[in-house]
Amino acid sequence: MQQEANRLLQDGKSIALVPTMGYLHKGHLSLMREGRKHGDTLIISIFVNPTQFGPTEDLHTYPRDLDRDVSLAESAGVDIVFAPGSYAMYDKGHQTYVDLEVLPLYLCGRSRPGHFRGVATVVAKLFNIVKPQVALFGEKDYQQLAVIRRMTQDLNYDIRVIGVPTVREADGLAMSSRNTLLSKEKRCSALSLHESLKLAQERVAQGVEDARKLIEEASGIIRSHPYTKIDYVALCDPDTLEDVERVEGPSLMAVAVRVGKTRLIDNAILTP
Ligand code: AMP
């Protein structure tokens, strides 16, 4: 991959990278469509990165189908699919990690210790391997996008990071590879994430500013659905991810909910 990237760059071709864990859906395709506009060569990576999964998480049950992904990528105009094996990304002696000090202390980082260390490390490695000038990430994984923007700046990567809005199913459920793990009833309960965000947005539009009240009401919606277990419902500053007490300017509401065994996340910027 590095040789190919060098060749492309020597030929004056710019590279846009969309990192994924595969099992592609319309959210990924939207990143690719945007990526096409920003590079001569569009490269996607498909790698279920073991270092971002905790010991009790779903690394082994994470859905995979490389053949299907490759044909979807091809029809989306992707030039190269980079799908390394874990041995190629982490050899036995691997011991270098990228760790951010503050952003991982919030939201998903609280219940997934080490997750963002794994994310930042693998993205840094992908940047060094694929050598893109532009990289695209989804706003669905808001904290991940914040971590990658910070890392790119802190480590002086000469890469433009572009955030792409969340693609949803017709009923509002944010697209996710993990949605395929939901039974019909659990998929219904999964809608509560989007419903809770919509309610919060409406309440903010009505003038409600108190974060505690907004969180309580949003949590109530989620709890009213069977199979749900809230990991967090948070209202925070969109840049620092620190909790806010009042929604006086654009604020991030982020939710993480276990629906059965499947952990789902979603978020929205609430604007008074
Ligand atoms: P994943 O394969 O889940 O690691 O996701 C790969 C990239 O696609 C990440 O940058 C995600 O934020 C992005 N992504 C995942 N789901 C969506 C979605 N529904 N809409 C937009 N981007 C998404």
E strands along the chain, which residues?
A: 15-20, 41-46, 80-82, 134-138, 160-164, 228-236, 251-259, 262-270
Question: Cα(163)–Cα(238) distance, rounded to whole angstroms?
Answer: 13
Q: Residue 244 has what pLDDT?
A: 98
Q: Is 174 in the pocket of ligand 1 (CB under 6 A)?
A: yes
Cα 137 to middle of ligand 1, angstroms: 7
Q: Looking at this protein, which amino acid is placed at residue 13?
A: K
* Ligand 1 pocket check for 176: Cβ under 6 Å: yes
**Model-level pTM?**
0.98
Ligand 1 centroid to Cα of residue 165, in Å, is: 10
Q: What is the pLDDT along the chain (272 residues), one digit of tens a residue?
A: 999 999 999 999 999 999 999 999 999 999 999 999 999 999 999 999 999 999 999 999 999 999 999 999 999 999 999 999 999 999 999 999 999 999 999 999 999 999 999 999 999 999 999 999 999 999 999 999 999 999 999 999 999 999 999 999 999 999 999 999 999 999 999 999 999 999 999 999 999 999 999 999 999 999 999 999 999 999 999 999 999 999 999 999 999 999 999 999 999 999 99
Decide: 27 in ligand 1 pocket, CB within 6 A. yes
* CA–CA distance, 22 with 177 (Å, rounded to integer): 8
Q: What pLDDT is stored for residue 86 in this prediction?
A: 94
Atom of ligand 1 nearest to the CA of 23: 2
